[in-house]
Amino acid sequence: MTSPPLHCLRCGVLVTGFTGCPECAAEGLGVNAAPPLADLSGLSLERYPGGPWGWPGALPVSAGPVTLGEGGTPNVRIPLADAGAGELWVKTEGANPTGSHKDRAMSVGVAAALDAGADTVVAASSGNAGTAAAAYAARAGLRCVVLTARGVPDPLRAQIDALGAARVERDDHVARNAAMREGVERLGWYPLTTFAQPPAGGNAYANEGYKSVAYEIARDFGERIGAVVVPTCRADLLAGIGRGFRELRAAGLVSRTPRLVAAEPATGAPYTAALARTGRSAQEHTTVERGPSPAFSLGESRPVWQGLDALWRSAGHAVAVPTEEFMAEHRALGAQGLFVEPSSAVGVAAGRRWAYEHGEPVVVIGTATGLKDIASVPAGKAEERVPEVTRLTA
């Protein structure tokens, strides 16, 4: 069966392929396309089982399910010192099969590849998307190519290799994207991520898998959440969550939806810079300097349009978090039993601020397990934690 058509989120033109809108790209803007919103009327949130395949009719695919049990992730409450503050919750996407939120997208993206009759999928990623693509391609019996830049962290390399994908290194992101374009255009591979410049966001069918995050939050918390905080770079997750809430509201399953908050490292915070400007055109064309950050999966020099759209539609906000603040949050989360990637700690730090400033319940999307990026974790001193270890004689 053919997949539904994709239209530009900004100008509405019909878009083919997964490199964003060519009309908007001519204006220098990376704008993703999307299928029509799904009609959820008649469904019951109480009976929603969670995950992208919990409501398969809300997905723009006919193949599938391609599933490893993704979604339905736990909500963990983080205690706040001040009783007058709101509530701080972390939705732990690290509990997904390959350890990140990307599983929700890749389970749907691989089904879309089956719809398209593909035998090989390709993802350009040195992070969570590559491992998720490898897992779901394996599950569906498709071949998978993961294009990485040099220096992919060991845990990710091992995960990609164990899952049977062909891992191909290129020197940098430019070379990686060029190889991906060739794989798609000359070799006929199905793209699960994008190689577009300016970046517009990921595969528009795959991104529909993120709507399930909104469905789960609405099912688990009702309408009492004031804000959902999302660590944001190219904004696939942020935009997908926004679309999920719009569908819920259009179907009357909720009467109000939370504000969306983009959390970014202060070393590269284009959404924060954009929203500080006046007028949509100025916001769209924002550029910032980008520095190195331990939150290696975040950081862009420009806002991606689908993210701005999600923030505008929800009367949302963006928060830039300095490195020392989110690394302190990373330690605070460890003290609560949560080991997340530094990018997730950026979100929790932003969510903590929001809970104190607004006094309302906040859900932060903890995007991935900390096991993906172990190099940024400082070694712990055993004798400071349990002094008696110095008295061990054996």
Q: State the nearest-atom distance from the C-beta of 272 to Zn ion, in Å.
A: 24
Q: Find the part of the chain contacting Zn ion (CB under 5 A) among 25-33, 66-74, 212-220, 340-348.
A: 25-33
10 binds Zn ion (CB under 5 A): yes
Q: Find the part of the chain contacting Zn ion (CB under 5 A) among 7-15, 54-62, 148-156, 300-308.
A: 7-15
Closest CA to 113 of 71, 70, 64: 64
> CB-based contacts of 263: which residues, under 8 Å, 6+ apart?
229, 230, 231, 232, 318, 319, 321, 346, 347, 349, 350, 351, 364
Instruction: Give the contact letters, 123-152, x = binds to Zn ion (CB under 5 A), - = no.
Output: ------------------------------
- Tokens of residue 215, six digits: 């469905």
Whose Cβ is closer to Zn ion: residue 12's or residue 49's? Answer: 12
Whose Cβ is closer to Zn ion: residue 13's or residue 166's? Answer: 13
Closest CA to 237 of 256, 255, 217: 217
- Tokens of residue 39, six digits: 């009609």
The single residue among 7, 17, 23, 139 that binds Zn ion, judged by CB under 5 A, is: 23
8 binds Zn ion (CB under 5 A): yes
Q: Find the part of the chain contacting Zn ion (CB under 5 A) among 19-27, 72-80, 119-127, 358-366.
A: 19-27
Whose Cβ is closer to Zn ion: residue 20's or residue 258's? Answer: 20
Identify the sign of the CA torsion 36, 42, 46, 52. negative
Number of chain positions touching Zn ion (CB under 5 A): 7
Whose Cβ is closer to Zn ion: residue 73's or residue 283's? Answer: 283
- For residues 290 and 267, the answer to whether their CB atoms sit within 8 Å is yes
21 binds Zn ion (CB under 5 A): yes
Whose Cβ is closer to Zn ion: residue 36's or residue 292's? Answer: 36
Q: State the nearest-atom distance from the C-beta of 316 to Zn ion, in Å.
A: 21
Whose Cβ is closer to Zn ion: residue 21's or residue 233's? Answer: 21
Q: State the nearest-atom distance from the C-beta of 8 to Zn ion, in Å.
A: 3
Give Cα separations from 242 to 237, 308, 311 (angstroms).
9, 11, 8
CA distance 216 to 1: 28
91 binds Zn ion (CB under 5 A): no
Whose Cβ is closer to Zn ion: residue 8's or residue 165's? Answer: 8
308 binds Zn ion (CB under 5 A): no
24 binds Zn ion (CB under 5 A): yes
Q: State the nearest-atom distance from the C-beta of 60 to Zn ion, in Å.
A: 19
Whose Cβ is closer to Zn ion: residue 11's or residue 162's? Answer: 11
Report the relative pairing of strands 227-231 and 362-366 from DSSP bridges: parallel
Q: State the nearest-atom distance from the C-beta of 22 to Zn ion, in Å.
A: 8
Residue 171: CB atoms within 10 Å: 10
Angle (nearest 5°) at CA 244 between 240 and 250: 140
Q: Is 28 left (phi over 0), alpha (psi -120 to 50) or beta?
A: left
Q: State the nearest-atom distance from the C-beta of 59 to Zn ion, in Å.
A: 24
Closest CA to 59 of 10, 26, 104: 104
Whose Cβ is closer to Zn ion: residue 20's or residue 366's? Answer: 20
Report the relative pairing of strands 362-366 and 317-321 from DSSP bridges: unpaired
B/e letters for 94-104, b = 16+ CB within 10 Å, e = fewer, are bbbbbbbbbbb
Closest CA to 89 of 369, 394, 363: 363
Scanning residues 26 to 45, which ones bind Zn ion (CB under 5 A)? 31
- Contacts with Zn ion, residue ranges (CB under 5 A): 8, 10-11, 21, 23-24, 31
